[in-house]
């Protein structure tokens, strides 16, 4: 099966978007967890359930990133497209 460079570029752009979205989401979830911990300490707010849910979602997202490895796929597809060109 012959793939054109456009297919490589489109797929690489898809993985680039997934990579950036995943990393930004991981950072934002970490910030949210820290802020919830601070607010629960300062304002005596019980946020344990929310913190646990955010931690589980962050763990699942990190697992996705480590399993699928979209950053490496993005770079490999970009490199393949450039070699073909």
- How would residue 2 be classed by pLDDT, with cut points 50, 70 and 90? low
| Number of folded domains that form the chain | 1
pTM (two decimals): 0.80
> Residue 1: is its pLDDT beyond 80?
no
- CA end-to-end span of the chain, whole Å? 17
Q: How does DSSP classify residue 85?
A: -
Mean pLDDT, the chain, rounded, equals 89
* Dihedral sign from CA coordinates of 21, 22, 25, 26: negative
Exposure on the CB side of residue 54, measured as CA atoms within 13 A: 18
- How would residue 83 be classed by pLDDT, with cut points 50, 70 and 90? confident
Mean pLDDT of 45-63: 93
Task: Print the domain residue range for 70.
Answer: 5-84
> Residue 60: is its pLDDT beyond 70?
yes
**Chain position carrying tokens 């300490």:** 41
């Amino acid at each position: 099966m012959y793939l054109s460079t456009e297919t490589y570029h489109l797929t690489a752009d898809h993985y680039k978007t997934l990579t950036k979205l995943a990393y930004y989401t991981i950072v934002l979830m970490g910030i949210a967890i820290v802020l919830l911990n601070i607010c629960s300490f300062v304002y005596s707010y019980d946020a344990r359930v929310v913190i646990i849910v955010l931690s589980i979602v962050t763990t699942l997202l990190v697992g996705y990133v480590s399993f699928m490895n979209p950053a490496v796929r993005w770079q490999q597809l970009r490199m393949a497209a450039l070699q073909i060109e």
